[in-house]
Structure 1
Amino acid sequence: MPIRLLLILGALSAFGPLAIDFYLPSFPALAQAFSTDVEHVQQSLAVYFIGLAFGQLIYGPLADRYGRRGPLLFGVTLFVLSSLACALAPSLDALIAARLAQALGGCAGMVVSRAVVRDLCEPRDAAKVFSQLMLVMGVAPILAPLAGGLLLQLFGWQSIFYSLTLFSALVGLALYRWLPETLPAGAERLPLRGSLGRYLGLFRDREFLTFALTGGLSISAMFAYVAGSPFVFIELYGVPAEHYGWLFGVNAAGFILSAQVNAWLMRFRGPGFWLRRLSALFLFCALLLLLFAAWRAPLWLLMLPLFLAMGCLGCILPNAAACAMARQGGQAGSASALMGSLQFAVAALASALVGVLHDGSALPMALVIAGCALLAALLAWYSGQVEAR
């Protein structure tokens, strides 16, 4: 795949995660600005997950009916405008509403980029491309909290959303100029009125659903970490907000590195083989994290299983996506949308559960991560039984 196209797809895929990671260091500042607490500010994160979950269901059928470019351009435009609205929000309620609109715009790139990869690649090649996209996307978790902490310190929390506005506008321009329509000219344009039936059919597809939920539970563990880490790092362990990004970036670096290792592993065995084995390793790391959190271990010791767990996810997520999309060529947009919606619906519950279980320790974050890892490992094992039938 050409590097320019890969960069555009990576940037589009990064809209959702970037809009999360960039503003994480600002949670305490937002709580102070709106005279509330961090737990209420976390609602803006949970609402964003909900928008990502349900918005994707809209873009999937649109991409199968009208092609890839139109829905993408609409979504990027909405993301630009809602990012500006976040910067100008006069209250927490207004910020939450703007974050919902931001999610509805950002999820277009997440849905359609997967459909574009499916348009252009076979399953094993798709796993490699998804791993390469993780490299592009992975720069966001490393740089975003660092840049967010710096902008917060120098210019205030509004500057974070102004930066998102500028970034998304530039990506939209690149999309308009350089991303071609990838839905084949002779492909059947599926009518919108059959969208519900296609979604129901995908729900009955045991293989698709198993792989989609394996990826969904894995990404839920990641976002439980995203939701809980500002409190754990900044408030519990006393890490300065402007340094939070360094810790976050270490784990993101592990995610990026393992994704590139995953692309290399595709030379030897297919994505399903590695998915099952790395899900088991992910469960081991998550249980180790839970043990250290219950022990109230020092931060450096807590970081070790976190780093290894995030590294496992760099392999699990592209493999789960490639397996889920492998047989969905005629309805790639709808399959991508349903997969993303399932993933972020579970992620919304996981991130909200971290807040509900909040007890002033790292245990709630670790407990949710371990629970997601256990269910993902069971589903990954079950996927082998489904494939064998």
Structure 2
Amino acid sequence: MTRRSKPSLLFVLIASGTVLGIAGTDLVLPAVPSLPGQLGGSIELAQLVLAAYAFGTLVGLLAFGELGARFDPCKLLIWSLALFGLASLASAESPSIEWLIALRFAQGAFGSGPAVFAPGFIHGLYPHDKAAAAMGRLGSVESLAPALAPIAGAWLLEFGGWEISFVLLAALSALISAAVFWQRASFPPPSQTVQDHHNYLTILKNLEFLSYASSQALSLGALLVFVFGLPAVLTGPLDKGIEDFVILQVCGIAMFILAANSSAWLAKRFGTLRTIRAGTAIMPCAFLAILAYTLTGASSLYVLVPLWAILNFGFGIRGPIGFHRAISAARGDHSRAAAIVIAAILGVAALGTTAVAPYISVGLWPLAITGAVISGFALLSLVPLRDFD
């Protein structure tokens, strides 16, 4: 069995691994408010269950990025999934909330491996002209996890208590790691183009990579800052229900999936950098349109949904090919490059969310301004680049 004979199967395994890491937060989310009653502690302490996973993910990204440049990524993927499963199982047996917080840090660190290795695997599985389309499909699958996992988590919580989500993550990670082990010979071999003297600083000195990576992190970071603050704004100053947030999310994700699966075709027709710039330019324009509308004092979903869809369309046509171009610019150092981009996305989202938090109670306009500024810098990051398509 050669790796060329089953790219679709390998893609499913790669996508499943990355979705598992995303589900590590979203599947457990509905159980967090009930944790103090089950394990002791306060609701404020329970929030650290989420924060610990995020911090662990950041540490894991950088660690796996370095390891992936030195060792076989397929073997590391197997270890990452297996250790994630063990950490998940141990979390289900936590005797206190303090233990759960510590184990969540480990769970986040181990669960970050698939996201680091996925771009390199896709780059090796598909020709250059098809790799960007595969990244679009991967982004489409990943975008469904934040929408569907909390719903599944709420059902699991009612069915079997807070532990059942962790048990399910452990079982799924065991299945996926076993499948990867079974198919290990079919995975693309490690890149031979990374030099021994390369490190994170070497990549950060690459101006082409820095431009694409900055634009990717800033554009997705802007979107995440808006999403993270949207539920509080809708249910607070706008006096709407959480169902309105669900409507916005469903419409936004649907538009993202449509655009993401069209991005490779658009890049082939109009040029990669031109498509990335066009999609990036749509985002600050959409944020400014939302700002202008909210300043009128209105908040109808009949207007917000189309504007939100346009915003997601902009990121959808630039996201997959932008990520792919950033990884390609690293000249074979896929693991470190992916780790830097994903860590930067988390950093932008965290800093932006922190900056806008004090103003979240006044309405939607602080989120719109923040999104417009961040996505504007994403567009400026592309100025030094030239398109050679």
Q: What is the TM-score with the length of structure 2 in the denominator?
A: 0.83
Query: Residues of 2 paired with 1:291 and 1:29: CA distance?
Result: 40
Looking at structure 2, the residues matched to 232 and 156 of structure 1 have their Cα atoms a distance apart, in angstroms, of 30
Which residue does 1:162 correspond to in 2?
A: 167
- Report the counterpart of residue 316 of structure 2 in structure 1: 314
Shift of 1:72: 0.7
Decide whether the 8 Å contact of 2:274 with 2:387 is kept in 1: no
Q: List runs of 5+ in structure 2 lacking aligned partners.
A: 1-5
Aligned amino acid, residue 262 of structure 1: S
Matched letter for residue 370 of structure 2: V
Q: What is the TM-score when the length of structure 1 is the normalising length?
A: 0.83
Contact 1:142–1:246 (8 Å) recurs in 2: no
The residue aligned with 2:57 is 52
For 1:229 and 1:94, the matched residues in 2 are separated by 31
Which one of the candidate residues 334, 342, 345 is aligned to 2:344? 342
Corresponding residue for residue 84 of structure 2:
79
- 2:206 match: 205
Decide whether aligned partners of structure 1 residues 132 and 189 sit closer, same or farther in structure 2, where only a CA change above 3 A counts. Answer: same
Aligned residue runs from structure 1 range 1-389, under 5 A: 2-26=7-31, 28-29=33-34, 36=42, 43-89=48-94, 92-180=97-185, 182=187, 184=189, 187=192, 191=196, 194=197, 197-233=198-234, 237=239, 239=241, 247-294=248-295, 295=297, 297-299=299-301, 301-359=303-361, 361-380=363-382, 382-384=383-385
Once residues 107 and 345 of structure 1 are traced to their aligned partners in structure 2, the CA distance between those partners, rounded to angstroms, is 15
Separation (CA, whole Å) in 2 of partners of 1:248 and 1:41: 25
Higher RCO, 1 vs 2 (CA within 8 Å, ≥6 residues apart): 1
How far residue 254 of structure 1 moved from its aligned partner, in angstroms, is 2.0
CA distance in 1, matches of 2:78, 2:263: 31
Q: Distance in 1 between matches of 2:302 and 2:8?
A: 37
Residues 99-123 of structure 1 deviation map (CA, whole Å, 9 limit, x = unaligned): 3222211211011111112223444
- For structure 1, list consecutive stretches of 5 or more residues without a partner in the other structure: none
The alpha carbon displacement at 1:209 in A equals: 0.6
SS of alignment partner, residue 333 of structure 2? helix
Q: What is residue 3 of structure 2 aligned with on the other side?
A: none
* 2-structure distance, mates of 1:330, 1:81: 31
Q: Distance in 1 between matches of 2:139 and 2:191?
A: 31
What SS is found at the alignment partner of 1:187?
A: coil
Q: Residue 293 of structure 1 contacts residue 302 of structure 1 at CA under 8 Å; is this kept in 2? A: no
Residue 212 of structure 2 aligns to a residue whose secondary structure is helix
Cα deviations by residue, 1:166-192 (Å, 9 ceiling, x for unpaired): 33222222222224464547936755x
CA change 1:290–1:345 in 2 (3 A) is same
Q: Is the Cα–Cα contact under 8 Å of residues 61 and 342 in structure 2 kept in the other structure? A: yes
How big is the shift at 1:316?
A: 2.1
Change (3 A) 1:311 1:78: farther
> Matched residue of 1:330: which SS?
coil
| SS state at 2:11 partner | helix
Distance 1:208 1:147, change over 3 A: same
Deviations 1:72-97 (A, max 9, x none): 11211222223334444455544443
Q: Distance in 2 between matches of 1:111 and 1:323?
A: 15
CA distance in 1, matches of 2:303, 2:14: 36
What SS class does the counterpart of residue 66 from structure 1 fall into? coil
Q: Does the 8 Å contact 2:272/2:387 carry over to 1?
A: no
CA pair 304-86 structure 1, distance change in 2 beyond 3 A? farther
Q: CA deviation at 1:216?
A: 0.8
Task: Determine if contact 1:218/1:373 at 8 Å carries over to the other structure.
Answer: yes
